[in-house]
Amino acid sequence: MTLAFIRHGQTDWNLNKQLQGSSDIPLNDTGRQQARDAVKTLEGVDWEVIVSSPLSRARETASIIAAGLDIELGPAYDELKERDYGQGEGATEEIIAERWPDHQYPGLESLESVVARGEAALERIDAEFGNRNTLIVCHGTIIRYTLAHLAGRPFDQIRNGSVSTFERNGEAWRVLSVNDEPLTEIVG
């Protein structure tokens, strides 16, 4: 079974460099185009189903890709929501630098919690879709840190509309690509 994380397309908050987190901000026109562009990146693999976070930016990205690849639009999973940044959500870089230079926002969800949700989502998707090649549309932080946990190494920021592939090999996961780029050394 091959899987791919896809980060949702751009929103106005992404464009304005506002911390988005679990706030439900919709795609903008650039984000919709990024979802259409992801279809081209995904061609050549027999994708069978696409699932997503329930946040509208992820769900709309998944709908666009499902239509473009003519595959099943599966369910949304609460476990795939973006990290909750608490009171930092909506803040610009300037506000963050002034109020929370250490990035410790009141109400901030721990990275351990984010990774645990990411792993729980993968187990649930694996249980529900078995050996079907599955696309998973969600968010930058949950993708970045879940992949880092699976691969045992850090990754840079995940770009809007980018595809990161991985596969299940017995009980282990193997990361194949991140941000549309194959890993030079496959680990996991």
Q: What is the per-residue pLDDT across 131-155, written as a single tens digit (0 to 9) for each? A: 899 999 999 999 999 999 999 999 9
Residue 7 labelled as part of a binding site: yes
Q: In the prediction, which pLDDT does 79 show?
A: 98
Asked if residue 174 belongs to a domain, the reply is yes
Q: Which residues contact 7 (CB under 8 A, 6 or more apart)?
A: 137, 138, 139, 140, 143, 158, 159, 160, 161, 162
Q: Which residue has the tokens 């106005």?
A: 12
Active site residues: 8, 82
Predicted pLDDT of residue 170? 80
Residue 29 pLDDT > 70: yes
Largest CA distance in the chain: 48
Q: Could you report the per-residue pLDDT of 108-120, keeping only the tens digit for each?
A: 999 999 999 999 9
What predicted TM-score, i.e. pTM, was given to this entire model? 0.95
- Asked if pLDDT for residue 168 goes beyond 90, the answer is no
Q: Is 156 annotated as a binding residue?
A: no
**Residue 104 falls inside a structural domain:** yes
Which CATH number characterizes residue 98's domain?
A: 3.40.50.1240
- 188: in domain: no
- Within 13-151, strands assigned E span 49-52, 72-76, 134-138
57 is in an annotated binding site: yes
Give the total number of structural domains in the chain. Answer: 1
The domain of 56 spans 2-182
For residue 185, the model assigns a pLDDT of 54
Specify whether the CB–CB gap between 145 and 119 falls below 8 A: no
Least confident stretch, 37-41, 83-87, 138-142, 184-188: 184-188
